Structure 1
């Protein structure tokens, strides 16, 4: 056999040794990282259990390395007994501890259960110290090799020649039961919370629990001999499985805490981000808002929120500055993100919770209040200016008529008084037009059009009504009447007769393929509205005639807004003005 001299001891290198060293390095690294997180995150029980598990794997590999390099039967048996007395049971109980801590069952981790576990470890160590061959019958050493593994040649080495005793099977059976209990506890928790966990996260935990149990069952049933034990490979799988769970999914840091704050039933969209701004969880309303893909779990916030307007930084800052407007179920809704920190043990932040408050109605009320304030300003201006001018003219002409007896002065005064009456009527109409519509009825459009035509001064006009008698719209009838009256009067005031006014419906295909009204239009064959004026015609006081008030189309705009409709002006088929109102 090929031995190498290590100081005063004889040692050897086996094909198993690199595996032991590799697994030891992984376990030590993970243990060190978990220790830093334990102190950063507030001494959380699951982190302590994870550290204990990594320490157990490290001790297991240290014992394995000692067994590999030793060349005497007594030294090898000492290393194996160290593994069986300390490393194995620390691993088993740490696995159970981790499962209980992760599933929020830490009430079972108390001084009595911990004391019993420590007593069991100490008792096993004492028994093996007194009777080293309590678990095995050692007949000496056996020689193996030489072999070549992955291009590396290994000389002959010696292994412990042993036979498993009944005590080994009994203790191993107990260990399997403990690990199986841990698996059941963790499995029940994963099933209960399957909607809030990553698929990969559950898979990683299953690997961490299942692989060592499977490997040891193969040894327990005699499927593989002790000298070909796959335990070290299984330990590597356990370490790497939990490494994926920790470093990829951060399950120890955020999910149990954050999930308690996430309410699936909330109508407002809710999104939970981890410390690296990855989406840990979100409710159905949030997935609808961003049209999330099926694999949204673990997405970066930049990709998840990409469909929304504005930068992700502005959205995740929250408050009014981060408010967004997006389409939801076919309508525009405005949301204001409310951002709060998710805190773990020791009050340390481990992520963020974003609740998108629907402030659509609030914004609508603010807009309505703004318009009402603007209307008050306009009323004040009209009362102080537009009414004062005709009043002054009428007063002056009546005074002159009294002095001179000139009846033409009286006629001029009457015209100005009539203008004052018109302004007052339109002011009252405008005041009512901006009020929100509370009650609506199914109103026949054709009947309202004919009534408005009767009220308006339509001498020299021709009505081309292209609306069926059965066509209705949900509206406030009186205010809809004002819409048609003002649109018809606008055509009269800005065109010379003869003039044709055409009124019809805007139709669109429904899901069944049939045409259905989505609005109506009013157009004439007059001179039309210059494109440069089309954005201004709905402003209060905008007029292109000397005797106009500029209220008519602004009243139309207010009534349309109060119904939640939209109005626009364009060019008609015959070159005149065309007003389209869509529901």
Structure 2
């Protein structure tokens, strides 16, 4: 067929492009176990198919011939854009998980549009043939349609994404790696630029496949001059050798293929460790790694016992699988023995201590607090970091804490001692002794260190001791003072009875002795009832008042319970409290006195219809020896006060409804009954 063929020198360049692309593709597929090699192989193969199809298209001059190879070219180019993106992502380690599903999603639109190109004569969605044109080669001419531009735009988006990843690698890389990544970036970019020029420019000849010769040459330089498909050589020389951590590379059989000087120093392997099983060199570490799979990175720690059995090494181990698919593993080991020993000693001493250690900045913000604080505040130590320490103490003590903290901050290396109260949720108030030291100028501390110690028990003992001493003093006062007068009376009347034989002196002596017995009983009650109440029970107020009323000779007196309720108290001592208040009402109000008892919002009251107590004497009635009744011991209301104080309550005197005395006890948790109960 004369005149059916044509020749042009550009065909030689196309042949070079085909040879180079094919060679790079074959080399890449042979090294497909290396990361990114398979994608590079498909990229080069697609370039080679494109160049070959374009060459075959150009050598013929008939419309049917050129149209055949034009459609075939699209079959090859359908793999080019996805292969470029996958290769770029793997090469730069873009942290993009390249899965078959992702590759399929990227490739599916291109495959569909390529199918339209191959079958274009049936529908002409991609282009319309307008004829042949000789400039200087005879080339097929087309008018492009929407399908063709859809294929171009989608392919460009994928290619631009890959080029962007390569450009980032060029910027981030150093020395040899920069030249390597630059060769790849330039090779891809010039091919893309030439295609953009052909699509949107006035060129009749598509120079894209021709430029593939230059691109393939640059890829060849990256492959053979800068070891593209080898492990990164620069990292081994500049990083691994200088690492403090032990670095070991294992193959799929767990044999050592590489290790750095730090690993040799740490493990002290006899002879050359290369090629030996990792389990034979470091059995303890290898045993830990056997518990994990090979598909993901994992961290663990290993304690190795020395040969003498005395010292131990604490090793932090990280195993990361090599991503080339050959089953290799990189193991890094850090000797953290000294740091772990110091940390554990510190943690043990702090976490198991009963004291609370707190480190504050110069504003009072908590930078660290030991775990025992959770038992005190109900909030974990981690949650308290960043809070202000002043908010942890009771509001009444905050001014003292702030003043003490200010004093500490103003004087470096100073030490201050203080006491504060803290009210835990749903618990009684705790007293803490704080010792603060200013270490703001101390390197690696740079804070105010405060040690808190719970001294609640000690304070309680001190209060008990004080109360005991006070009771002893009162008892001694009763014995030494109040018993002296009736004792003298009894002794004098006994002597007179012996001298005169008059029985009236004997009766006087008996009355004095009876008086002494009353004083002694009251003194014993004072000593016994002043002890702190530790065990309580829920008691109904009306019941205990009725029991106290029945225990006292009340004659014509009347009792009215105006409101009833329950409270937690020592039942026996609470009954004695009401017995003493009832006796006090009878002694000062007469046999026909009326006594009223009821509850308040935070306690209870007992009032009578007697003469009452003058305002200026109301504080004195709870003192020992004070009585407005000539026959009284002056201890009845003291006993009442002691019982109230032993429960942690308060008591004071007011005017009653009818002018009598009203004793009000507060600080009591009372459950009030709405129904009022009256009893006579």
TM-score, normalised to structure 2's length?
0.42
TM-score, normalised to structure 1's length?
0.48
Q: Comparing both chains, which one has the higher relative contact order based on Cα–Cα distances under 8 Å and sequence gaps of 6 or more? A: 1
Larger radius of gyration: 2
